Structure 1
Amino acid sequence: MNYEFFIAKRIIRAKQYKSSVSATIIKIAIAAIAIGIVMMMIAIATGMGLQKTIQEKVATFNGHIQITNFDNNDSEVSLMPLASDQDFYPNFTQVPGITHIQAVATKAGIIRTEKTFEGVLVKGVGTDYNWTAFNDFLEEGRFPNVSEKRENREVLMSAYMARRLDFKLGDTFKTLFLKENTNEIPNERTFEIVGIFDSGFQKFDANVMLIDIRHIQRMNKWKNGEVGNFEVFVDDFDLVEEKTEEVYNAIPPNLDTQSVLDKYPFIFEWISLFDVNIFLIIGIIIIVGGINMITALLVLILDRTPMIGVLKSLGSSDWSIRKIFLYNAAYLIGIGLLWGNALSFAFIWIQRTFEVLKFPNPKDYHTTIIPTHIEVWHVVALNVGTLVLCVLMLLIPSYIITKISPVKAIKFQ
């Protein structure tokens, strides 16, 4: 067995070690490491959770990649139709990592009531639309049935829009859609609210309403099967830009692609700042934890000064004795990490299960509940990084051992 490790283990197991004057300071140092790990884990879990939640919400309304006509249309409205008989639809097998593709169309309209009116962006969806992502948003009712042979008037409306228009589940209302020739009488459609959703993302909740795509096809006088654009979903959000390029190379030259990152850059630039905050918190806490461990190490050295004198008189080198105390400190850090991880996992589980903590102003973060998300490699990297950095920080204060004289140390005993 390693000589230094053997002595460090004997020191840790010694009864007088646990009842010495340094015991209280050691417990404080362990508690500081544990609390630091809890704070760092919470920072990572909530920061990553918020990023992932916002990414998923934006993708739910737009897909990860949009395939559109190659034109100058910068609006949200579908102007020029696309044929649905494409080689990549309904199964996009040309590019790996594509999980789903769906055809949609959008059209601007105005909801008119006796008291007020509201602008709306109507999104037409078909039988291929993936409603799974909306399951978490659905508050009342159900999703529109778009699989019937004839188009129906069922719509899915946001709770935000329903409140503004004083609507409730089951209400019917009229919506006006302007034609390309503004001199013509607008199209008028009557819809019935069969479902109400709340994504917490006001940018989309404020005006998006989902209907049967056949309404838009008929109003725009498109041919059977023509759609506005395609929404593509990938299995790894981190590869969106790479997959956008691959999709672009796989589709006909008259079509264009746009990733959700390019469509809403301000949103993703904002959530990327969370990483800076996380690293800043981790850095500060590691420094504070390291300073606490330095204090504990110095107390251990002072408490074991006679032992250091004896070991030096027996021929032990300064570096060998330093390693004994570094092993001892690493053990204390490990205890702190163990408690910190246990408390962190407990907090994450409680928050994810019972949703205890909520944002005081959900509009600023586009979600009510504080979300949590953490991966195994985050936990491993955090623990290993904390252990290594704290031990490295202890190398300098352990240098004090080289200044201890064996004669004075033994007399001190």
Structure 2
Amino acid sequence: MFRPLELFIGLRYTRAKRRNQFISFISTVSIVCIAISVTALITVMSVMNGFDDELRSRILGAISHATVSGMPGQAVEEWPRAVKIAEANKHVKGAAPYVESEAFFQARRSTGGLIRGIEPAEEPKVSDIDQHMVEGKLGTLVPGSWNVVLGRELALQLGVSVGDKVIVAVPSFQSSPITGSVPSLRTFTVSGVFEMGMQEFDSGLALVNMTDAERLNRLGGPTGIRLKLDDMFNAREVARELADQLGQVYRVDTWMDSHANFFSAISMEKKVMFIILSLIILVAVINLISMLMMLVTDKQADIAILRTLGSTPRSIMGMFMVQGVLVGFVGIGFGVTLGSLLSWKLPGIVKWIEHVTGVTFLSPDVYYISELPSKLDAGDVGWVALITFLFSLLATLYPAWRASRTQPAQALRYE
């Protein structure tokens, strides 16, 4: 079977012999270091992907992918028409009207937050709050019932539970000849509690029926329409389409506008972490340079003989590059396999460690994401493998170049 001379001799040099056992040991260490570095980088990137995906799902489970609204604090004009136009878009999976305003809540204690009027039957089309109810149901928010569903943290701050009364005040002032301008007040009955796992919503959001919210805020209709899309990353394009169709009376916003800084920070952190951990791979590849330099020194006589037999400097470089690339390739193979397997099983491994040691890594009392998430992304694995291979290839250039510069007469002088 025909094999190029460079490949044949390079593979021969990878086999351990009696006189170069130490070099073979260094080669094994290089493979192990590269494999560990690749495994660590893939695992860390998977964990960051998991946290990013978990945060997106929790945030977008309470807010909408896009919203259609009118003037601030006013009802949307001809909102049924706006709903029909939005639902006619092929990228819109669901649309639901809502009323939202700032509010002040008072019970045993008092605090501020947002009150959102919804239609319980339409809400599952645009959010996942109904799937995160810990007490009661959204169905209790019927028109005229003056019921309210609170976030878990908000209920704890107010010191209330299901069945208790909460006084809600909104900045919709009415004039009185005796007291002057006073805010709109109403007593609500707590009929449910939800927990999204995000401080922003659990501690500052209350849900009521949309009709009750309109009466409380003295409005003639909803203040906006919430939309759920088939692809949340396509939100800006859909927003532009709807803005053109609806006209200038309406304003279309997306989740990218309201939470752009938050997700940009996560993306930047992921990129910085990738660069930092890539330096660990670079350190591991330095072992490969040391191994090849010792191999070149050990094979001076062999190189000289090959040169006298007609091998070119480029051929000599190829022989030593084969061994360096082979070591890197084997290390990448083990690293990708172990990293992918570890990322896939990491949540279960963490639970097992917590069960055995009794130590909770992410306490639910402190962290809103109490389980270590992991999401293996093929693109990240590909980038890690490619960068490691390039580092390994670059590491072979200088030792191979030194080997190609060997002078036969000088190398064989003392043989």
- Tell me which interval the TM-score lies in, with the shorter structure as reference length: 0.7 to 0.9
Q: Contact 1:176/1:187 (CA < 8 Å) preserved in 2? A: yes
Q: Deviations over 1:266-323 (max 9, x none)?
A: 4234323314422421442232133222112223323333332332222111211211
| 1:284 matches 2:279 | yes
2:203 to 202, 206, 216: 206
Alignment-derived partner of residue 190 in structure 2: 192
Q: Deviations over 1:201-224 (max 9, x none)?
A: 32332211223222213334544x
Aligned-partner SS, 1:22? helix
Q: Contact 2:85/2:246 (CA < 8 Å) preserved in 1? A: no
CA deviation after TM superposition for structure 1 residue 15, in Å: 4.8
Aligned-partner SS, 1:316? coil
Change (3 A) 1:51 1:286: same
Q: Contact 1:63/1:260 (CA < 8 Å) preserved in 2? A: yes
Alignment-derived partner of residue 65 in structure 2: 64
| 1:250 matches 2:250 | no
1:134 to 128, 133, 138: 128
Q: Contact 2:106/2:167 (CA < 8 Å) preserved in 1? A: yes
Alignment-derived partner of residue 352 in structure 1: 347
Q: How does 1:146-161 map to 2 (within 5 A)?
A: 150=143, 152=145, 155-161=148-154
Structure 1 unaligned spans of 5+: none
Alignment-derived partner of residue 117 in structure 1: 110
CA deviation after TM superposition for structure 1 residue 37, in Å: 0.8
Alignment-derived partner of residue 391 in structure 2: 389
Q: Contact 1:82/1:229 (CA < 8 Å) preserved in 2? A: no
Aligned-partner SS, 1:80? coil
Q: Contact 2:66/2:227 (CA < 8 Å) preserved in 1? A: yes
Q: What RMSD over aligned residues (CA atoms) do the two structures have, in Å?
A: 3.2
Hey, what's the Cα distance between the residues in 2 that align with 1:361 and 1:309? 67
Q: How does 1:300-311 map to 2 (within 5 A)?
A: 300-311=295-306
Q: How does 1:357-396 map to 2 (within 5 A)?
A: 358-359=361-362, 367-396=369-398
Change (3 A) 1:197 1:405: same
CA deviation after TM superposition for structure 1 residue 229, in Å: 0.9
2:235 to 236, 240, 244: 240
Select between 176-185 and 60-69 the one with higher mean Cα deviation: 176-185
Hey, what's the Cα distance between the residues in 2 that align with 1:256 and 1:367? 34
- Counterpart code for 1:229: G
Alignment-derived partner of residue 298 in structure 1: 293
Change (3 A) 1:324 1:240: farther
Change (3 A) 1:19 1:219: same
- The structure whose residues are more often helix, as a share, is 2
Hey, what's the Cα distance between the residues in 1 that align with 2:376 and 2:339? 11
Q: Deviations over 1:178-205 (max 9, x none)?
A: 4431645734232234233142x32332
Alignment-derived partner of residue 315 in structure 1: 310
Aligned-partner SS, 1:145? helix
TM-score by length of 1: 0.83
Q: Contact 1:30/1:333 (CA < 8 Å) preserved in 2? A: yes
Alignment-derived partner of residue 166 in structure 2: 174
Structure 2 unaligned spans of 5+: 176-180, 352-359
Hey, what's the Cα distance between the residues in 2 that align with 1:236 and 1:295? 50
Hey, what's the Cα distance between the residues in 1 that align with 2:219 and 2:331? 66
TM-score by length of 2: 0.83
| 1:334 matches 2:329 | yes
CA deviation after TM superposition for structure 1 residue 255, in Å: 0.3
Residues matched between the structures, number: 398
Hey, what's the Cα distance between the residues in 2 that align with 1:218 and 1:233? 26
- Counterpart code for 2:166: K
Alignment-derived partner of residue 16 in structure 1: 17
2:96 to 92, 102, 109: 102
Hey, what's the Cα distance between the residues in 2 that align with 1:152 and 1:309? 95
Q: Contact 1:125/1:146 (CA < 8 Å) preserved in 2? A: no
CA deviation after TM superposition for structure 1 residue 410, in Å: 5.0
Hey, what's the Cα distance between the residues in 2 that align with 1:243 and 1:281? 37
Change (3 A) 1:124 1:345: same
Q: Contact 1:160/1:205 (CA < 8 Å) preserved in 2? A: yes
Q: Deviations over 1:106-161 (max 9, x none)?
A: 13333322x3222231112222212786379737235411686x554554322222
Change (3 A) 1:361 1:192: closer
CA deviation after TM superposition for structure 1 residue 265, in Å: 4.1
CA deviation after TM superposition for structure 1 residue 400, in Å: 0.9
